[in-house]
Structure 1
Amino acid sequence: MQIENQEVDDRLFRNAMGSFATGVTVITTEVAGEVHGMTANAFMSISLNPKLIAISVGENARMLRHIKEAKQFAVNILTSEQQNESKQFSGQLNLEHEITFSSYKGLPILEDALAVVTCTLHSEYVVGDHTVYIGQVTGVKLEQKAPLLYSQGKYRELKELQDLG
């Protein structure tokens, strides 16, 4: 079997990857008493035993150094009601009201998130133009709400949720 080594167009690749529907998260941490947050959809579960998750952070993101310094972070999985929070932490929106944070397991978290996963930094891997952080799970909070989804450059909602309970 012969494999062609063709250059893949950047725009085509981005569009194809953007076709994969994902949830939306805000990664939060605290350094020297200051809360930092970043919208991300590059998040996944890695292992059940031990409980590990992964996030991917671009090399130019300020969050990169904040996680390295804090050595811990929280993943806030957003609800369908939290589009503004997603836009705020991605730099697309400057909310007139200040976002308030709660504290859980020593980390700042967004109130009313669908789920929160707190982690200590387990390991990190520089891969291409991103760093993949593996987090050792220290806590989980879960609510019964509809998720915020993102696909093809737009926020989406599930038309019908099967039994959330």
Structure 2
Amino acid sequence: MTMVTSDAFRNAMAHFATGVAVVTARGAEGECGATISAFSSVSLDPLTLLICLHHKSATCRAIEESGTFGISILRSNQKDMAMYFAGKSDGKSFGEYCVKHESGNFFVKDALVHIGVNVVETLRGGTHEIFLAQPLSIDFHPDQSSQPLVYFRGAFDLAA
């Protein structure tokens, strides 16, 4: 049996394949975005989902300030978008890669799904903020035969 350390835990969690999404928000520092895999549905009644972001990230601060954010579930051919939004938001041009929704939220162009949400509750989990949110808008990519981008063992891969 392996001793439970942060490295062993990270390795164990890397064995859980997950979809990849980009969270976008606008705060006092401007437009921010982050690639996440910590994203899940919570409840159908009331409609609730959750995301987790490091509490020191600019995207986390923007969500705390605005109370709203956009989620773009990436398609298998959008590894470049996942990498782009995986780094710091400073100095990035979101206009080139995103589209603005009538709600004011913005989303990654050509993503599989766009979900606009409002924050319902925020919880702290160690180094991360857990945002519970209510979906307010959902838009699907016209080509629903597209596969999602998947993250497994520390790498982006095509869905099986």
TM-score, shorter chain, exceeding 0.5: yes
Q: Do the aligned partners of 1:35 and 1:108 also contact (CA within 8 Å) in 2?
A: no
Q: Do the aligned partners of 2:76 and 2:159 also contact (CA within 8 Å) in 1?
A: no
Q: Do the aligned partners of 2:25 and 2:32 also contact (CA within 8 Å) in 1?
A: yes
User: Pairwise CA RMSD of aligned residues?
Assistant: 2.4
Give the aligned length: 153
Deviation track 1:7-36 (CA, whole Å, cap 9, x = no partner) reads: 721111000001100000100011259321
Q: Distance in 1 between matches of 2:65 and 2:94?
A: 28
Q: Tell me the TM-score normalised to structure 1 length.
A: 0.84
Q: Distance in 1 between matches of 2:114 and 2:95?
A: 20
SS of the residue corresponding to residue 126 of structure 1 reads: strand
The aligned counterpart of 1:3 is none
Q: Tell me the TM-score normalised to structure 2 length.
A: 0.87
Which stretch of structure 1 is more off in the superposition, 68-77 or 33-42?
33-42
Which stretch of structure 1 is more off in the superposition, 124-133 or 28-37?
28-37
Q: Distance in 2 between matches of 1:124 and 1:152?
A: 29
SS of the residue corresponding to residue 20 of structure 1 reads: coil
The aligned counterpart of 1:162 is none
Q: Do the aligned partners of 1:74 and 1:108 also contact (CA within 8 Å) in 2?
A: yes
- Percent of residue pairs identical: 29
Q: Distance in 2 between matches of 1:72 and 1:136?
A: 9
The aligned counterpart of 2:47 is 51
The aligned counterpart of 2:117 is 119
How much has 1:106 moved relative to structure 2? 1.8
For residue 146 of structure 1, what is the amino acid of its counterpart?
A: Q
The aligned counterpart of 1:139 is 137
The aligned counterpart of 1:83 is 79
Q: Do the aligned partners of 1:31 and 1:66 also contact (CA within 8 Å) in 2?
A: yes
